Structure 1
Amino acid sequence: MPPRLRTLLLPILSLSGAAALAAPTLDATMRERAENLVRDGKHASLVIAVIDGKDSAVYGFGRARPGDSGVPDADTVYEIGSVTKTMTGLLLADAVVAGKARLDQPVAELLPGYAIPTLAGRQITVGQLATQFSGLPRLPANLAPADMANPYAGYGEAQLRTFLAGHTLTRAPGAAYEYSNLGYGLLGTALATQANMSYEELLQARIFRPLGMVSTFTAGTPALRARLAPGHLADGKPAANWDFQAIAGAGAVRSSARDMIAYMQSYILATSPAQQLAVRPQQVLAGEGDGVKKIGLAWMLDQVKGRPFAWHNGQTGGYASFAGYTLDGKRGVVVLSSTARDVDGLGVGVLLPGSLPPPNGPAPKEIAIAPAELAQYAGQYALAPTFVLSVRQGPEGLLVGATGQPEAPVYASAKDTFFYKVVEAQLVFQRDAQGAVTGVVLHQNGHALPGKRKP
């Protein structure tokens, strides 16, 4: 773990025309949580942007660079990872509004030189790519990084064409949700090809320049890259930056809090029909009634205590991000971290003050459980028809994976209770009257999601 840092809270940077005292404030509870995360070495630096309509303020915590006394600010650049997908989704919405594409249009029509897989005569549409219902896997099977620290750098158009030409779909397009970086990379490639531009050029032309996002890029100049906060692995060790080629639309963007405020305000203020289309519900993911969860064009549509909001998160090898706004258009938030640790709880807590329990005290105390006892938890637990937790016994304890997500270890804090170290989440297993494990409840970001164990 990196050395403990003194609490370094940047005073408000008002980005509105009003005086600093009128700038949006950061809830004291969430400020304390952010301070603790930095002080305890869980995040090397954090930047939180709070948006109230046209007004905004940025708060920085930690240090922008090791050995530097300066705190990160509104112009410090971070990798935003999969928040990039919302930008790719917005490019699609922009093309639809302009009459250049349709959500039900087969992606093969935009990529005539590609062999796009089909199943039972059903083609993958651009709308299915944008809602994660394409049937494509999370990653292409021929992704074989020469450098695991920068896994996407060598994956180009030739590799993408080869994979798609040889891939067989295991489910029909539109049948089920499966989070796919491959799918969003393909969507970005298709939209750029249609526009006769590179993905970066299309972003600059349709989003970044119109919104004045001068510090947002995928490749960028040396001067822009020099403003990147150095990334860190979850254990605090230095991490390499990630570079993308063919599937840049899944996670290639780097940005600053100042630019992300402009981006989020374009949704909050509903400045164009494209933004409105991008957050229009397209598919139901889970739940019913007030607890239903939906997806737009990348944006996840959720609610906490009856307060609906749109959000997306991101993570690369050395960074994490969260962007969200309330669907009443009153509030938005962006959280950027230079450590690959989940910041979703922080983001939701800032976006919806009072929606989450107060910050936890010290991390749960880990206890030892015999391997023979751990075996009883192994299995699959359906939290929703398209979202399943897979639990298995690894060499050093339980490993838990979720649909479309990599595995992560969990640690016992009590019988039937396990916690993650890489995210703020907890699993509590349920038993029947005979003592058999029959289900689990995932506690995260103020939600308690129950799941039944599959036979």
Structure 2
Amino acid sequence: MPPRLRTLLLPILSLSGAAALAAPTLDAAMRERAENLVRDGKHASLVIAVIDGKDSAVYGFGRARPGDSGVPDADTVYEIGSVTKTMTGLLLADAVVAGKARLDQPVAELLPAYAIPGLAGQQITVGQLATQFSGLPRLPANLAPADMRNPYAGYGETQLRTFLAGHTLTRAPGAAYEYSNLAYGLLGTAMATQANMSYEELLQARIFRPLGMVSTFTAGTPALRARLAPGHLADGKLAANWDFQAIAGAGAVRSSARDMIAYMQSYMRSASPAQQLAVQPQRMLAGEGGGDGVKRIGLAWMLDQVKGRPFAWHNGQTGGYASFAGYTLDGKRGVVVLSSTACDVDGLGVGVLLPGSLSPPNGPAPKEIAIDPAELAQYAGQYALAPTFVLRVRQGPDGLLVGATGQPEAPVYASAKDTFFYKVVEAQLVFQRDAQGAVTGVVLHQNGHALPGKRKP
């Protein structure tokens, strides 16, 4: 872990032109939480942008660079990972509003040189790519990185076309949700091809230049790349930056807090018809039975609510960075969190966006306890939190491993009998038992939600 740091908080920076004292403040509990995350070595640096309507402020924690006394600020650049998908979805919405595409349009019509798989006569549409209902897997099977630290760098158009030509769908397009970087890479390729531009050129023309986002890019000049905060692995070691070719639409963008404020405010203050379409609910994901939790998905944007307060959000993570962007659907408050460590910042983002929504917002980290490996087998199984969202629990060589629909496995650690926590994200699993002591279900606690799931036979 990096050494403990003493000076953590960048004094408030007003980006609104109003007096600094009038700028949005960071809730004291969330400020303490961010300070602790940096002090304890869980994040090398954090930048939090708080947006209240037309006013905004940026808070920086940690060090912009190892050995540098400067804290990160509004112009420090980070990889934003899958928050890129909201921009790719906006490109689609822009094309739909302009009459150049339709959500129900088959991808094959925009990419005639590609062999796009289908099933039972059903073709994948661009809308299904944008809502993660395409039927495509999370990653292409022929992704074979020469350098695992930079996994997408060598994956180009030839590899993408080869995979799609030989791939067989295991379910019909539109049948089920599965988070897919491949799908969003394909969507970005389709939008760029339709516009006769590269993906970078299309982003610059449709989003970045109109919004004045001068520090946002996928490749970028040496001067822009020099402003990147060095990324870190979860264990604190330096990480390589990620570069993209054919899968760029899934996560290639780098940006600063200043630019991301402009991006979020464009949704919050005077959303264009394309932005309105991008956050329009398209598909149900979970919560059909009522209660809080992710309800629907727009074009990449997750449409959620906590304690009856609706908001749109997306997160991101690359090999050395994590991000969160969200805003309340009434347009009154927004937040951007950027980290130079590949550890989840969702809880921090939701807590800043909706003060008081997380309980407790800054509680102590769970303490790990040992459980006899023979006892762990009783938790193995599948737990349905929603018809299209299932947790898969199995016993690994070093403890329990938990995967979810469309997501890779991650280890969980016991803090009490029947209670386990993640280290890679701020989440907890509490297993439920019947009167006879058999494990019958689980409750996932994350970002203020409590999502119960029954064990499948």
Question: Which whole-Å CA distance do the structure 2 matches of 1:284 and 1:43 have between them?
Answer: 34
Query: Is the partner of 1:173 in helix, strand or coil?
Result: coil
Note the alpha carbon deviations across 1:64-94, whole angstroms, 9 max, x for none.
0000010000000000000000000000000
Distance 1:120 1:290, change over 3 A: same
> How far did 1:270 drift?
3.0
Question: Which whole-Å CA distance do the structure 2 matches of 1:350 and 1:360 have between them?
Answer: 12
Contact map agreement 2:324 2:345 (CA 8 A) in 1: yes
Show structure 1 runs of 5+ residues with no match: none
Question: Which whole-Å CA distance do the structure 2 matches of 1:374 and 1:290 have between them?
Answer: 30
Note the alpha carbon deviations across 1:78-134, whole angstroms, 9 max, x for none.
000000000000000000011100000001000000000010110000000000000
Distance 1:64 1:193, change over 3 A: same
Contact map agreement 2:74 2:256 (CA 8 A) in 1: yes
Query: Is the partner of 1:419 in helix, strand or coil?
Result: strand
Note the alpha carbon deviations across 1:153-211, whole angstroms, 9 max, x for none.
00000000000000000111111100000000000000000111000000000000000
Contact map agreement 1:381 1:454 (CA 8 A) in 2: yes
Question: Which whole-Å CA distance do the structure 2 matches of 1:280 and 1:309 have between them?
Answer: 12
Question: Which whole-Å CA distance do the structure 1 matches of 2:89 and 2:182 have between them?
Answer: 14
Contact map agreement 2:293 2:449 (CA 8 A) in 1: no
Contact map agreement 1:24 1:50 (CA 8 A) in 2: yes
Per the alignment, residue 89 of structure 1 pairs with 89
Contact map agreement 1:145 1:152 (CA 8 A) in 2: yes
Per the alignment, residue 396 of structure 2 pairs with 394
Question: Which whole-Å CA distance do the structure 2 matches of 1:238 and 1:292 have between them?
Answer: 33
> How far did 1:406 drift?
1.3
Note the alpha carbon deviations across 1:386-431, whole angstroms, 9 max, x for none.
1111111111111111111111111111110111111111111111
Query: Is the partner of 1:202 in helix, strand or coil?
Result: helix
Query: Is the partner of 2:132 in helix, strand or coil?
Result: coil
Distance 1:292 1:424, change over 3 A: closer
Question: Which whole-Å CA distance do the structure 2 matches of 1:217 and 1:188 have between them?
Answer: 15
Note the alpha carbon deviations across 1:358-390, whole angstroms, 9 max, x for none.
344432221111111011111111111111111
Query: Is the partner of 1:25 in helix, strand or coil?
Result: coil
Say which is worse superposed, 269-278 or 220-229, in terms of deviation.
269-278
Question: Which whole-Å CA distance do the structure 1 matches of 2:421 and 2:66 have between them?
Answer: 29
Question: Which whole-Å CA distance do the structure 2 matches of 1:373 and 1:405 have between them?
Answer: 26
Contact map agreement 1:7 1:38 (CA 8 A) in 2: no
Query: Is the partner of 1:84 in helix, strand or coil?
Result: helix
> How far did 1:4 drift?
1.6
Distance 1:62 1:23, change over 3 A: same
Query: Is the partner of 1:361 in helix, strand or coil?
Result: coil
Contact map agreement 1:53 1:330 (CA 8 A) in 2: yes
> How far did 1:284 drift?
0.6
> How far did 1:23 drift?
0.5
Query: Is the partner of 1:267 in helix, strand or coil?
Result: helix
Question: Which whole-Å CA distance do the structure 1 matches of 2:204 and 2:321 have between them?
Answer: 23
Contact map agreement 1:42 1:339 (CA 8 A) in 2: yes
Question: Which whole-Å CA distance do the structure 2 matches of 1:292 and 1:392 have between them?
Answer: 25
Contact map agreement 1:7 1:35 (CA 8 A) in 2: no
> How far did 1:8 drift?
0.9
Note the alpha carbon deviations across 1:37-86, whole angstroms, 9 max, x for none.
00110000000000111111000000000000100000000000000000
> How far did 1:290 drift?
6.1
Question: Which whole-Å CA distance do the structure 1 matches of 2:389 and 2:163 have between them?
Answer: 26
> How far did 1:7 drift?
4.3
Contact map agreement 1:83 1:323 (CA 8 A) in 2: yes
Distance 1:396 1:161, change over 3 A: same
Contact map agreement 1:131 1:297 (CA 8 A) in 2: yes
Contact map agreement 1:270 1:276 (CA 8 A) in 2: no
RMSD in angstroms over aligned alpha carbons? Answer: 0.9
Contact map agreement 1:117 1:167 (CA 8 A) in 2: yes
Note the alpha carbon deviations across 1:224-243, whole angstroms, 9 max, x for none.
00000000001111100000
Contact map agreement 1:215 1:224 (CA 8 A) in 2: yes
Per the alignment, residue 31 of structure 1 pairs with 31
Show structure 2 runs of 5+ residues with no match: none
Contact map agreement 2:30 2:362 (CA 8 A) in 1: no
Q: Number of matched residues?
A: 455
Query: Is the partner of 2:197 in helix, strand or coil?
Result: coil
> How far did 1:446 drift?
0.7
Query: Is the partner of 1:449 in helix, strand or coil?
Result: strand
Contact map agreement 2:292 2:449 (CA 8 A) in 1: no
TM-score (norm 1): 0.99
Contact map agreement 2:419 2:429 (CA 8 A) in 1: yes
Contact map agreement 1:29 1:358 (CA 8 A) in 2: no
Query: Is the partner of 1:408 in helix, strand or coil?
Result: strand
> How far did 1:292 drift?
6.1
Contact map agreement 2:351 2:361 (CA 8 A) in 1: no
Question: Which whole-Å CA distance do the structure 1 matches of 2:429 and 2:293 have between them?
Answer: 20
Question: Which whole-Å CA distance do the structure 2 matches of 1:380 and 1:270 have between them?
Answer: 44
Question: Which whole-Å CA distance do the structure 1 matches of 2:195 and 2:227 have between them?
Answer: 30
Question: Which whole-Å CA distance do the structure 2 matches of 1:53 and 1:287 have between them?
Answer: 29
Query: Is the partner of 2:9 in helix, strand or coil?
Result: coil
Query: Is the partner of 1:286 in helix, strand or coil?
Result: coil
Per the alignment, residue 234 of structure 2 pairs with 234
Question: Which whole-Å CA distance do the structure 1 matches of 2:85 and 2:246 have between them?
Answer: 14
> How far did 1:5 drift?
1.5
Query: Is the partner of 2:122 in helix, strand or coil?
Result: coil
**Which structure 2 residues correspond to residues 13-92 of structure 1 after superposition, within 5 A?**
13-92=13-92
Question: Which whole-Å CA distance do the structure 2 matches of 1:231 and 1:203 have between them?
Answer: 24
Note the alpha carbon deviations across 1:325-355, whole angstroms, 9 max, x for none.
0000100000000000000000000000111
Question: Which whole-Å CA distance do the structure 2 matches of 1:54 and 1:362 have between them?
Answer: 35
Structure 1 ranges of 4+ moved more than 6 A: none
Contact map agreement 1:186 1:247 (CA 8 A) in 2: yes
Distance 1:184 1:421, change over 3 A: same
Alignment of 1:198 onto 2:207: no
Contact map agreement 2:293 2:451 (CA 8 A) in 1: no
Per the alignment, residue 272 of structure 2 pairs with 272
Identity value in percent: 95
TM-score (norm 2): 0.98
